Structure 1
Amino acid sequence: MVGFLNFVIGFVVSLLIGAFGIYVGARVIADRNDYEYAVLTALVGAFVWWLITGLFGIIPFAGEFIGAVLGLVAWVYVINARYPGGWGSAIGIGVVAWLAVWVVLVVLESLEIIASGALGVPWL
């Protein structure tokens, strides 16, 4: 039971950190100020990322690389579908989200609060 509770707490904290990154990116790039919207975007983006990387990851040789690239494109597509401004804005939101989450994780890890990682933002 403790393992499951740790998983749920880790999932929620990770999701909220990833959503914070998307919130900051959307606030800076698209002038959107809705954290709940960012949470849903992070959740959908994480699911799409997991699905695409999982499907392509089973292909031998270059499948993991192709899956990672297509997963990233799919994640940006989710942002593009949820926020105004087109692909350029979606990429900008993604870059700002990645940087914001990276800063939060570095601070939290340096304070020995959590180990590095966030759900909803690829490669973190």
Structure 2
Amino acid sequence: MVLGLVLSFVVGLLVGGLAIHVGASLIVGSSTYGKALVTAAIAWFAWGVVSLLVGWIPLLGPLVGLLVYVGVINVQYDGGWLNAGAIAFVAWLTSLLVLALLQFLSLGVRIVGVPGV
């Protein structure tokens, strides 16, 4: 059971990193997969802390979580808040597509590092 959780986390982090990499490559024109993995891991941790602290507050909790997530991307990639938001949106879309493919293949994986997926 623990091995399954660890494997699911690792696969989810790899997919989340891929999604952020795709978003950053399309929006700012440059990204490395390693940087995207680090961004996904930091974003996952930050989202978790925010969810723990204020996630229970309706509307405010998810909104603050999303702001922190986009803020992590903003710190990691050049281009400002608008580009960071666009990267987050493309990462979200990419994650949904990959998740749909994984579900089609009957692999129950949760995406790590991209909220709302």
Q: Same fold (TM over 0.5)?
A: yes
Alignment deviations for residues 36-95 of structure 1 (CA, whole Å, 9 cap, x no partner): 00000000001001100110135xxxx143111100000000000000000010001000
Q: TM-score, normalised by structure 1?
A: 0.90
1:9/1:116 Cα in 2 relative to 1: closer, same or farther (>3 Å)?
A: closer
| One-letter amino acid of the counterpart of residue 114, structure 2 | V
C-alpha distance in structure 1 between counterparts of 2:80 and 2:68, whole Å:
14
1:57/1:88 Cα in 2 relative to 1: closer, same or farther (>3 Å)?
A: closer
C-alpha distance in structure 2 between counterparts of 1:100 and 1:57, whole Å:
24
| One-letter amino acid of the counterpart of residue 26, structure 1 | A
Q: Is the 8 A contact 1:44 1:78 kept in 2?
A: yes
| One-letter amino acid of the counterpart of residue 113, structure 2 | G
Partner of residue 115 from structure 2, selected from 95, 98, 122 = 122
- TM alignment of 1:1-80, pairs within 5 A: 3-58=1-56, 63-80=57-74
Which residue is equivalent to 2:91? 97
Q: TM-score, normalised by structure 2?
A: 0.95
Unaligned regions of 5+ residues in structure 1, if any? none
- CA shift at 1:117, angstroms? 2.4
| One-letter amino acid of the counterpart of residue 109, structure 1 | Q
1:5/1:74 Cα in 2 relative to 1: closer, same or farther (>3 Å)?
A: same
Unaligned regions of 5+ residues in structure 2, if any? none
C-alpha distance in structure 2 between counterparts of 1:93 and 1:45, whole Å:
13
Q: Report the identity percentage.
A: 38
| One-letter amino acid of the counterpart of residue 115, structure 1 | G
